[in-house]
Each structure stands twice: as C-alpha cells, then as structure tokens.
Amino acid sequence: MECTWTRKDLLSIYDLSADEIRMILNTAAEFKKVSERKVKKVPALRGKTVVNLFVEPSTRTRISFELAEQRLSADIINMSTDASSLKKGETLLDTVKNIKSLQVDIVVMRHSASGSPNFLARHLKAGIVNAGDGAHEHPTQALLDIFTMREKKGSIEGLNVSIVGDILHSRVARSNIWGLLKLGAKVTIAGPSTLVPKEFERIGVRVCDRLKDALEGADVINLLRIQHERQRAGFFPSTNEYARVFGLNRETMKYVKPDALIMHPGPINRGVELDSAIADGPQSVILEQVTNGLAVRMAVLFLIGGCIKND
C-alpha cells in the first residue's frame, strides 16, 4: 500500500522509511514518462518559488534541480557563494533570515558543512532539500542511483551492490547504504582500509579489503570519486597506487559479472577509480543515472511542494 507524503523537508535517506523511498521512486517513474513527452512541462509548482543555494561547487546536481524546477513551472532564484554576500562574510543565519523575508517556498541547498540543511529546516517554514552536505548525506543522488538499479534490475530486494572508494568521506556512500539496506539489498563496501570504516559491519554491511572480493558476484558496482586531497592527507600512498589496487579497468573487469551495472555519481577521475573504456562501455549506466536524476528531483520537489506552508 502506498504511504502518504507528509514531510516538508528531504534532509537524509536515514530519516525515510522504506515506503517513503518507494513513494519517491514510484513518483519519479511517472515524471520520467513526462520527460519523454513532446511537452515536458507540468504546472505542479506554478506560483511557487524555489531558491537554489549552492555554497559548494556542483555541475550535475545544480543543473538537474534547476531543470526539474523549470519542468514543474516554479519560479527560480539561483544563489552561489561567488555571486552572493556569503562571500563577503554574511553568516548562514543572516542569509536564512533574508530568504525567510522573501517568503520562498522551497530551498535546495548544497553546503560543505554537514547538518547545514537541518539548521535551515529548523529556522524556515520553507521546504528544505539537501543537495549534499559535507560528508553527511546526498539523498537525491542515492535516490537516483537506486531508481536506476530498480529500473535495470527490476527490484532492489536481494540485489548485491558493491560501493568502492572513499567511503569514509562520502555522502553518496552513506545515503546509498541507508537506502539500499532499507529496501533489502546486500551491500558491500571496499577500498583502502584507511577509507573504509569497519564500523559499517555493525549495520549489516560487508566490508572488503580487496577489490576482487567486492567485484565477484556483484549485480551493481558503484564507484566513488577519489578525492585528491585525501592522498595529500596520507589516506593512500599515491593516485597511481590507488588506480592499480582499486581501479576498475580492463584487467579488473574480469571479476565483474557480464550483466553487472557500472555506476558512478560523477565527476569521474578517468584512469583513477574508473578507466574510460569501462566508463563509456556497454555495462556503464552513468549517463542514465543523470537522466534519472531529473525525474527523481521532480518527484522530490513535487512531493515537498504539496507539504509546505508559507511563513
């Protein structure tokens, strides 16, 4: 039975029930059909104002949210650090107070500080959508990843999903792990031991030290971007060493099932975590993830738009 959506905010996947996740995925499936029509625009958010507050760089998420808002007929305000008074030292709370006085309906927020969308949600009646906060969560990325897996594999229950890379600092990994476990997938994580906390075993995740163990038997392999600053901080010896031991390439593809999906949230470090031949190869669904991101973000904004009450 479908649940009823009651949240004004989407702050994390951790907060959601399995039914709420399914409701977003099912709503996204309907919006994907809209995106395939000749007329792709619907009036669902007509008269509503959405602020995109991106205080950290983004390509995919920012463009995807903006297009989703346009497709839903919302009025849009784009704010970024470089083009706002945040650069002049204005505090986030002062920015929030200004947003509040403009009576906007939804704020989509990316910030390097974990928990900043929760802070916003406590101070605003507007709906808050977390577009990635520090190393905490990136809920819409996980939803579009899970949507893509479900679309390709039919069901998430019992699916073997391996996430490879810097789990310790990855908001994408955290959101994926919570969502996949809630929907009954079997989740494996792998990478250098300095970047793959053993503590994840306590919530039912399999932790591997060797790439081969994570690849064999996996239905989905989700590779994470290796952040170069982690190498400078000593989490692994060198980028070349990482590519040799944990990179997915023609050599390591021999452990991968022929029907396994290769996923990556982007941006890709080609030749490090993933070789171009695999990223652009027949098992890659990376660009389909981007396409599905639009439908998922339309669904999230649509559901939240139905729950907000103006100040």
- Of 7 and 60, the one with the shorter C-beta distance to ligand CP is 60
- Of 61 and 269, the one with the shorter C-beta distance to ligand CP is 61
Contact 213, 190 (CB under 8 A): yes
Question: Is residue 193 at the binding interface for ligand CP, with CB under 6 A as the rule?
Answer: no
Q: Which of 270, 218, 225 is nearest to 249 (CA)?
A: 270
Question: Is residue 117 at the binding interface for ligand CP, with CB under 6 A as the rule?
Answer: no
- Of 44 and 226, the one with the shorter C-beta distance to ligand CP is 226
Pattern 32-71, binding to ligand CP, x per CB under 6 A? --------------------------xxxx----------
Cα gap 125→72, rounded to integer Å = 21
Least spacing, CB of residue 137 vs ligand CP, in Å: 12
- Of 265 and 305, the one with the shorter C-beta distance to ligand CP is 265
Question: Is residue 265 at the binding interface for ligand CP, with CB under 6 A as the rule?
Answer: yes
Choose the binding region for ligand CP from 95-103, 188-196, 241-249, 262-270 (rule: CB under 6 A): 262-270
CB atoms within 10 A of CB 17: 10
- Of 132 and 305, the one with the shorter C-beta distance to ligand CP is 132
Question: Is residue 165 at the binding interface for ligand CP, with CB under 6 A as the rule?
Answer: no
Instruction: Measure CA 187 to chain center.
Output: 16
- Of 293 and 305, the one with the shorter C-beta distance to ligand CP is 293
Least spacing, CB of residue 61 vs ligand CP, in Å: 3
Query: Which pair of structure tokens corresponds to residue 23?
Result: 């409701």
Question: Is residue 141 at the binding interface for ligand CP, with CB under 6 A as the rule?
Answer: yes
Least spacing, CB of residue 58 vs ligand CP, in Å: 3
Cα gap 311→127, rounded to integer Å = 11
Q: Which of 298, 287, 294 is nearest to 27 (CA)?
A: 298
Reduce the DSSP state of residue 216 to 3 states and report it: coil
CB atoms within 10 A of CB 199: 9
Least spacing, CB of residue 193 vs ligand CP, in Å: 25
Cα gap 177→121, rounded to integer Å = 24
Strands of the chain, DSSP E: 49-54, 75-80, 106-111, 127-133, 160-164, 186-190, 206-208, 220-223, 261-263
Query: Which pair of structure tokens corresponds to residue 60?
Result: 């995919």
Question: Is residue 148 at the binding interface for ligand CP, with CB under 6 A as the rule?
Answer: no
Instruction: Measure CA 301 to chain center.
Output: 15
- Of 61 and 162, the one with the shorter C-beta distance to ligand CP is 61
Least spacing, CB of residue 4 vs ligand CP, in Å: 29
Binding site for ligand CP (CB under 6 A): 58-61, 132, 138, 141, 265-267
